[in-house]
Amino acid sequence: MSVANLITLARLPLLILLLALLFTVPSWGWQLVGLGLLILLFLLDWADGYVARRRREVTELGAVLDVALDRAVENILWVAFLALGMVPLAVPVIFLIRSFVVDGIRGVALAKGKPGFAMMHSPLGRFLVASRFMRALYGLAKGVTFSFLWLTHALTFRDPAAALALQPVNLGLILISTALCVLRGVPVLLDGRLYFRSQGD
């Protein structure tokens, strides 16, 4: 297996470790360790793509694993923070629906010979969904949001007043991440209609 794919797969046990820390270790110090590991989790998402391009290990398997781990990380973390009472129910619902719908449409496009971002044909769709800028912005928004949520959770064990003060910041970051999720999902729906019309469905 390629180095890039091993980096991708390493995110799964790290995610499980993070969940264990989040729910079973009520300690300020250990929660800070968890925050560091969370940041590492998101850095690995960048690293696998960088290594794949650098070592010319870009493969269909790597692309599938990367998307699968991205979905697992973001959706599981949203549900985890929902369980902690830090995120409204609507947020993981939106992300889950978006994941299923977008990936379903991409599966149809792939069957038509248009893998991944290649299915986007409108200029706006290509920018919002496929451009490196928007992909990086979306990843950064989620990374910052989850990091602040984790920091807030950690502060509840040391300084509850500081944790409470971060709630408006968290809400703003959650709204930004959710807005970007929807903004990048709608063009897939619009451009994806082409592949369904061609089937006569």
What is the average pLDDT across 31-42?
96
Q: How many domains does the chain have?
A: 1
Residue 75 identity (one-letter amino acid): N
pLDDT digits (tens, 9 = 90+) for 157-187: 999 998 999 999 999 999 999 999 999 999 9
Cα angle: 118, vertex 189, 12; to 5 degrees:
70
The two tokens of residue 62 are 């790597």
Which pLDDT belongs to residue 63? Answer: 72
Pairwise CA distance, residues 176 & 68, whole Å: 23
Mean pLDDT of 101-119: 82
Q: Please give the model's pTM, rounded to 2 decimal places.
A: 0.90
* CATH number reported for the structural domain that contains residue 140 in this entry: 1.20.120
Q: CA torsion angle for 182, 82, 76, 32 (degrees, to 10)? A: 110
Which range of residues forms the domain containing residue 190? Answer: 3-197
